Amino acid sequence: MTIKIINKSSHDLPHYETEASAGMDLRAHLEDKIILGPLERIIVKTGLFIELPVGYEAQVRPRSGLAAKKGITVLNAPGTIDADYRGEIGVILVNLSKEAFVINDGERIAQLVIAKHERANWENVEILGETDRGEGGFGSTGV
């Protein structure tokens, strides 16, 4: 699949690091570094604008290393970029650590996963089909 992209940053286009990678790293596009204090959140711009085909979304997800090592994650993970959005891709980052985190221009801040999706139509009914699980949720099938 080919996706149209405008890159207003000075960084390379997002790309897959390995043959089996599902996501591509997004990089911060900044004029000045950002200091993200504990429990602070910010939208970090990427300089990227995309045109997805209808039936696809781009999911913005945390980078596992950044989350595990620094406590930095994507606040609304996964964030969804719809096929009709034409604005700049921004990443909502939050610092869940006890230390300030410096975001520099070019920093790998998130992953982008392209995913196909379906559109649903609702059907109003009075009764739903029964299952063994029934109404059990929130840990009802185990810890």
| Binding site as annotated, residues | 63-65, 76, 80-82
Cα diameter, the chain: 57
Integer-rounded Cα Rg, in Å, for the chain is 19
Q: 113: closest CA among 34, 37, 38, 58?
A: 58
Residue numbering of the annotated binding site for substrate: 63-65, 76, 80-82
Q: Which two tokens stand for residue 125?
A: 């009914």
Q: Which two tokens stand for residue 69?
A: 């090592």
Q: 50: closest CA among 67, 26, 73?
A: 26
Query: How many Å apart are CA 110 and CA 19, to the nearest integer?
Result: 19
